């Protein structure tokens, strides 16, 4: 056996709405990804502490103007929400709803780490669903406040004609701002257990975790609040997620906690059982750190959710840590056209990073982190804007603006209020190479991003003003690093990025 120290948060980065399962000694987790592509990341761990991305469920969800950032709106805060991951009879299943498409998606594969996913689409929303396999039948339990159960066909491809499709029960209304949602369903110990998040506007006024249980699937459900704690952080409750066991029949819960601008971060807690009710944490409190035991396997490397990249590839396929902001235009990016460089070519015009296609992103990490890139701007066209962004609706960018008179300017910009970019500060810049840096400070919700540039990667100059980052629900995603290039006038120019280097040291 291997002794592991679980320290929360297990990942100080945006991994919202986690759903975890165990197959053998391996744990797999899926997370909400919304407008980031590829979507529905699958992460793997042997000890619930150290995770790596091993696959995505889909490369693109839909091919339309909204998903392609061509409708002036995009699918910010939409796309895939709160996916359910399950394994049954050798097949892995992921399901979720998409509000913008008004559809319910089911994917399946026999190989969760390397396989392609087969897709099925059902009309209508099944909000924050949980798949439940039970005695040869398949159900999806879903809803917000009004909890419903819908039976699927045995092959999990569509709704079963004549099958169960009814309201299961109503959850509390009085004093509740966000009624129960985010179901995670299990059959254990002779009970059906349904886990939910809710948010009361009385009492502690924070998100909390509830458990409903019944001896009968369609019977009367009793419930308890099983966790109402913020682990000392700004009254932000820890909730929404499920439970998983070890081969030794020890149990753990995996939830998330809002950490403001960095996003919603995953928390692992111990689970014990008392009178067949799950008891989360220690005496009702979430644990910052505790010891756990797992079967000895090959050594697990610490989580590297955000990575450095020298863009040294043999094929036009990026590391799994990268995601595009909305669907990419795969004709206009390359890591092999100029070996050792990421090349981003413009293909449509816009006036904002929010609608710039082929913005390549990774998460940020707390408490403090930086990203540095080097950019060759010699092939930008007049009107082009390229650089690095702290991406959320309230964004900040640092990069090069190519002017119509042939001059270039290094500039720091922010959202002007309507999505268009407002230049905070800019200076003439004559070199063809520029180095850019963004410094993120999420410690104690300081939530400041600072922007720098350099001609040699040694002497750095701050530009513009520090950005007070805001987590807003229109994006519903923590701040991300992004590398971008877009045209405001003439398409066809390109910017080349030599590397992206990431550091989480607090003294950088």
pLDDT on residue 505? 59
Query: How do residues 206-241 score in pLDDT, each as one tens digit?
Result: 999 999 999 999 999 999 999 999 999 999 999 999
Supply 297's token pair: 């396997």
Select the more confidently predicted residue: 457 or 405. Answer: 457
Percent of the chain with pLDDT over 70: 99
Considering the domain architecture, whether residues 331 and 288 belong to the same structural domain is answered as: no
Considering the domain architecture, whether residues 283 and 333 belong to the same structural domain is answered as: no
35 torsion bin: left (phi>0), alpha (psi -120 to 50), beta (else): alpha
pLDDT at 356 over 70: yes
Annotated catalytic residue 17: yes
Considering the domain architecture, whether residues 332 and 461 belong to the same structural domain is answered as: yes
Pairing of strands 494-503, 277-280: unpaired
Averaged over 267-288, what is the pLDDT?
95
Considering the domain architecture, whether residues 421 and 330 belong to the same structural domain is answered as: yes
The CA distance from 58 to 157, in Å, is: 17
Annotated catalytic residue 181: yes
Q: Which of 14, 17, 228, 345 is catalytic?
A: 17
Domain that holds residue 463: 323-503
How many domains are contained in the chain? 2
Considering the domain architecture, whether residues 290 and 329 belong to the same structural domain is answered as: no
Residue 108 to residues 28, 57, 119, 155, 181, Cα–Cα distance (Å): 14, 9, 7, 10, 24
> What is the C-alpha end-to-end distance of the chain, expressed in Å?
38
Query: How do residues 46-73 score in pLDDT, each as one tens digit?
Result: 999 999 999 999 999 999 999 999 999 9
The CA distance from 8 to 66, in Å, is: 37
Domain assignment of residue 334, yes or no:
yes
Considering the domain architecture, whether residues 331 and 246 belong to the same structural domain is answered as: no
Considering the domain architecture, whether residues 246 and 351 belong to the same structural domain is answered as: no
Considering the domain architecture, whether residues 93 and 153 belong to the same structural domain is answered as: yes
Domain assignment of residue 162, yes or no:
yes
The CA distance from 365 to 504, in Å, is: 7
Cis peptide before 367 (omega within 30 of 0): yes
| DSSP code of residue 183 | E
Domain assignment of residue 386, yes or no:
yes
Domain assignment of residue 302, yes or no:
no
Side-chain-side CA neighbours of 174 within 13 Å: the count stands at 0
Domain assignment of residue 176, yes or no:
yes
Q: Which of 181, 198, 260, 447 is catalytic?
A: 181
Cβ burial 386-414 (10 Å sphere, 16+ → b, else e): bbbbbbbbbbbbbbbbbeeeeebbbbbbb
Domain assignment of residue 311, yes or no:
no
Residue 167, judged by CB atoms within 10 A of its CB (0-12, 13-18, 19+), counts as exposed
pLDDT on residue 205? 97
Query: How do residues 409-450 score in pLDDT, each as one tens digit?
Result: 999 999 988 888 999 999 999 999 999 999 999 999 999 999
Supply 240's token pair: 């929404």
- Say which CATH number the domain at 114 has: 2.115.10.20
pTM: 0.97
Considering the domain architecture, whether residues 282 and 330 belong to the same structural domain is answered as: no
- Say which CATH number the domain at 358 has: 2.60.120.200
Domain assignment of residue 459, yes or no:
yes
The CA distance from 370 to 388, in Å, is: 12
pLDDT at 141 over 50: yes
Domain assignment of residue 331, yes or no:
yes
Considering the domain architecture, whether residues 335 and 275 belong to the same structural domain is answered as: no
Considering the domain architecture, whether residues 121 and 50 belong to the same structural domain is answered as: yes
Considering the domain architecture, whether residues 261 and 335 belong to the same structural domain is answered as: no
């Amino acid at each position: 056996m291997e002794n592991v120290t679980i320290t929360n948060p297990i990942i100080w980065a945006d991994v919202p709405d986690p759903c975890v399962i165990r197959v053998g000694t391996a744990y797999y987790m899926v997370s909400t990804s919304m407008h980031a592509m590829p979507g529905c990341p699958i992460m793997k761990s042997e000890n619930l502490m150290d995770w790596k991305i091993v696959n995505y469920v889909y490369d693109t969800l839909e091919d339309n103007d909204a998903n392609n950032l061509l409708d002036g709106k995009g699918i910010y805060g939409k796309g895939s929400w709160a996916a359910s991951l399950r394994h049954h009879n050798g097949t892995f299943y992921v399901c979720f709803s998409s509000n913008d498409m008004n559809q319910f998606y089911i994917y399946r594969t026999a190989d969760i780490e390397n396989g392609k996913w087969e897709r099925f689409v059902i009309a209508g929303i099944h909000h924050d669903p949980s798949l439940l396999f039970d005695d040869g039948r398949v159900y999806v339990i879903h809803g917000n406040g009004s909890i419903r159960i819908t039976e699927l066909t045995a092959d999990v491809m569509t709704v079963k004609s004549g099958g169960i499709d009814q309201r299961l029960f109503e959850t509390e209304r009085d004093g509740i701002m966000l009624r129960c949602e985010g179901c995670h369903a299990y059959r254990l110990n002779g009970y059906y257990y349904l886990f939910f998040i809710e948010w009361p506007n009385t009492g502690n006024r924070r998100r909390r975790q509830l458990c409903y249980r019944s001896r009968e699937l369609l019977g009367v459900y009793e419930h308890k609040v099983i966790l109402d704690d913020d682990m000392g952080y700004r009254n932000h409750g820890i909730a929404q997620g499920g439970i998983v066991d070890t081969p030794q029949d020890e149990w753990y819960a995996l939830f998330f906690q809002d950490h403001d601008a960095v996003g919603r971060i995953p928390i692992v807690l111990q689970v014990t059982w008392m009178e067949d009710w799950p008891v989360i944490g220690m005496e009702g409190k979430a644990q910052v750190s505790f010891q756990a035991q797992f079967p000895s396997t090959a050594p697990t490397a610490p989580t590297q959710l955000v990575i450095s990249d020298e863009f040294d590839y043999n094929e036009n396929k990026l590391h799994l840590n990268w995601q595009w902001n909305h669907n990419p235009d795969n004709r206009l990016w390359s890591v092999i056209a100029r070996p050792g460089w990421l090349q981003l070519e413009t293909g449509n015009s816009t006036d904002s990073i929010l609608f710039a296609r082929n913005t390549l992103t990774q998460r940020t990490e707390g408490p403090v982190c930086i990203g540095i890139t080097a950019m060759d701007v010699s092939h930008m066209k007049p009107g082009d804007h390229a650089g690095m962004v702290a991406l959320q609706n309230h964004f900040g960018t640092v990069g090069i603006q190519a002017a119509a008179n042939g001059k270039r300017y290094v500039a720091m910009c922010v959202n002007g209020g309507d999505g268009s970019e407002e230049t905070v500060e800019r200076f003439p810049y004559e070199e063809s190479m520029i180095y850019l840096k963004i410094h993120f400070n999420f410690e104690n919700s300081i939530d400041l991003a600072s922007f720098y540039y350099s001609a040699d990667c040694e002497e750095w100059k701050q530009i513009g003003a520090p950005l007070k980052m805001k987590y807003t629900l229109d994006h519903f995603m923590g701040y991300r690093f992004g590398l971008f290039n877009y045209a405001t006038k003439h398409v066809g120019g390109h910017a080349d990025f030599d590397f992206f280097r990431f550091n989480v040291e607090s003294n950088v």
